[in-house]
A and B are shown apart, each in its own frame.
Chain A
Amino acid sequence: MKITRAEVEHVARLARLELTDAELDTFTGQMDGILAYVEKLNALDTDGIVPTSHAVPMENAFRADEPTGSIGVENALANAPQRAESFFRVPKVIE
């Protein structure tokens, strides 16, 4: 086994995903199979190989630090599930 049900449960907590028992069972089996498949990368010697995070060689993309327009408070709040005045309303943060 590459991954146990308990590890899948832990990953779900990290990913902020509430999974049902059935989903945990299914994902444990499927992730185990996929992780076993990706093991094939270990057959390659990659010592000294530089990792690629970006396919096109680029330097930093800077722009002038000048204020520009924004979408405004009403537009920003237009899709809010809940709002209060000009704020996003969420359940109490402090436990």
Chain B
Amino acid sequence: MEIFDLTIHELHDKLKAKEVSSVEATRAMLDRIEAVDGQVNAYITVTPEQALVEAEAADRRIAAGDIAPLTGIPMGLKDIFITKGIRTTCGSRILENFVPPYDGTAVAKLKEQGAVIVGKLNQDEFAMGSSNESSYFGPVKNPWNLECTPGGSSGGSAAAIAARTATATLGTDTGGSIRQPASHCSCVGVKPTYGRVSRYGVIAYASSLDQVGPLTRDVTDAALLLGAVAGYDPKDSTSVNTPVPDYLAGLKSGGKGLKIGLPKQYFIEGLDPDVKRAMDEAIALYKSLGAELREVSLPHTEYAVATYYLIATAEASSNLARYDGVRFGHRADEIRGLKEMYAKTRAEGFGSEVKRRIMLGTYALSSGYYDAYYVKAQKVRTLIMQDFLNAFNEVDVLLTPIAPTPPFKIGEKLADPLQMYLSDIFTIPVNLAGTCGISIPAGFSAAGLPIGLQLIGKPFGEATILSTAYAFEQETQWHLKKAPL
């Protein structure tokens, strides 16, 4: 067992017992990045000098008897998180040389605990994608099979966990961007309830859907990291002022007597046979643990993708209006006048997926189409939310697949955006409903590719999905398997 293989809680115990220093752990992680990231491309920016300074500070803190759960732990951040003095690109050419003057709230909370930031992780450009192929900095390879995508948009965050080039990472989830790559890379990923974690200092894609969450090696780490970043933040007007439970303390309460719902719309014809087998095994396991499983209905599921691609693109078209070449980021050369500067700058700075979504969103919000597309989608969103509320009157948790198939090949879906969009059918409804979900490793396909299981909870039911996931993890070995790198 190498230092870079350890979970947060395992490394924390070694740091506390003075068996290893944060500088040693950080050096081991930086060496590991040096050794394997050329194959994976999980990192856009690595920050060795700053990381070692932070590690030395963590060691001084530990020597003084002051150690928090994340003190001295080497972590990576999706490059959507604003980091003071560290280049933050959001996977885009338009922010290729952007160096923020402040830290966002989640990052500040990690730093308060003494976490060590080793670098910024690759992602789909502006978090728009399901395969990490839209990044300006090149695609990320799946550590389980380098010909496959790691999923997206937090592909770098998930691949770094699988490649063991970060002890833990943070990502963001707008339509499944934490849970789907977690599933494809066999790690744990949590999409918290909307408003649970501050979005201050997180580059906006679709503001009513975006949420920050952890990607980790096991459920205990997910509970630790979520607890570290969750909570009310007056700097985010959509942050919810409700107490953060002790997620770690509640982990062992899951399983027996729990009512688990199986939404019939998620177990459809066309589900990959390996995925179906993994779901059947998970269902059988929960039954053996004493949970009560019953079928439920979420009747508007089939409308979720269409609803999402109107609402998310509309919000994105508005959010991305700020990239105009005036105050920060790329500006086109040889321009004659302001309008040309805007249009050329954006043409050069954005990739095709971002342009496509800005175009769709602009169209959905344009005069004459606003009611037909945008308002219609918002009404269907209400129906999708009601589906979840009704289901949660009957059950505590929902169990579903994360993706209809195991990870797909790089390039396989690039020619047909709609096919790529449809692969998010099982994750998108959770964002539209604003509730929470977790992805946990649940097996492998015949070809040896990871398959994840999704547990969906009531709004602010993170403690329940974490304990339910923990019960599964205690009975399985999937999370202990290592990618062949």
Q: Do A and B bind each other?
A: yes
Which one of B193, B302, B358 contacts A17 once the chains associate, using CB atoms below 8 Å? B358
| B 358-380 binary contact with A (CB < 8 Å = 1; else 0) | 11101100100000010111111
- B459 x A90 contact (CB < 8 A): no
- B379 x A50 contact (CB < 8 A): yes
- B356 x A31 contact (CB < 8 A): yes
- Residues in A with CB closer than 8 Å to B309 are 34, 38
Closest residue to A20 on the B side, CB-wise? B347
Closest residue to B240 on the A side, CB-wise? A56
- Residues in A with CB closer than 8 Å to B485 are none
**What is the interface of chain B mostly: helix, strand, loop, or mixed?**
helix
A7-B376 Cα distance, complex, nearest whole Å? 21
A15-B417 Cα distance, complex, nearest whole Å? 20
**Is the C-beta of B27 less than 8 angstroms from some C-beta in chain A?**
no
Closest residue to A82 on the B side, CB-wise? B331
Closest residue to A51 on the B side, CB-wise? B378
B: number of interface residues (CB 8 Å): 72
A12-B346 Cα distance, complex, nearest whole Å? 11
- A91 x B342 contact (CB < 8 A): no
- Residues in A with CB closer than 8 Å to B356 are 27, 30-31
A9-B105 Cα distance, complex, nearest whole Å? 40
Which one of A34, A35, A91 contacts B336 once the chains associate, using CB atoms below 8 Å? A91
- A80 x B328 contact (CB < 8 A): yes
- Residues in A with CB closer than 8 Å to B104 are none
Which one of A16, A80, A95 contacts B342 once the chains associate, using CB atoms below 8 Å? A16
A79-B435 Cα distance, complex, nearest whole Å? 36
A41-B308 Cα distance, complex, nearest whole Å? 11
A15-B345 Cα distance, complex, nearest whole Å? 12
Closest residue to B355 on the A side, CB-wise? A17
| A 66-95 binary contact with B (CB < 8 Å = 1; else 0) | 000001000110111110000010111101
- Residues in B with CB closer than 8 Å to A56 are 193-195, 238, 240, 434, 459
**Is the C-beta of A58 less than 8 angstroms from some C-beta in chain B?**
yes
Shortest beta-carbon distance from A29 to chain B in Å: 10
A83-B169 Cα distance, complex, nearest whole Å? 36
A61-B336 Cα distance, complex, nearest whole Å? 42
- A54 x B383 contact (CB < 8 A): no
- B327 x A88 contact (CB < 8 A): yes
Which one of A18, A81, A93 contacts B346 once the chains associate, using CB atoms below 8 Å? A18
A95-B356 Cα distance, complex, nearest whole Å? 30
**Is the C-beta of A6 less than 8 angstroms from some C-beta in chain B?**
no
| B 197-238 binary contact with A (CB < 8 Å = 1; else 0) | 000000000001000000000000000000000000010011
The 9 A-B residue pairs with the shortest CB-CB distance in the complex, in nearest-first order: A55-B434, A51-B378, A81-B331, A79-B328, A46-B379, A61-B237, A75-B101, A18-B343, A18-B347
B residues neighboring A (CB under 8 Å): 97-99, 101-102, 193-195, 208, 234, 237-238, 240, 300, 302-303, 305-307, 309-310, 317, 321, 324-331, 335-344, 346-347, 350, 352, 355-356, 358-360, 362-363, 366, 373, 375-383, 385, 417-418, 421, 432-435, 459
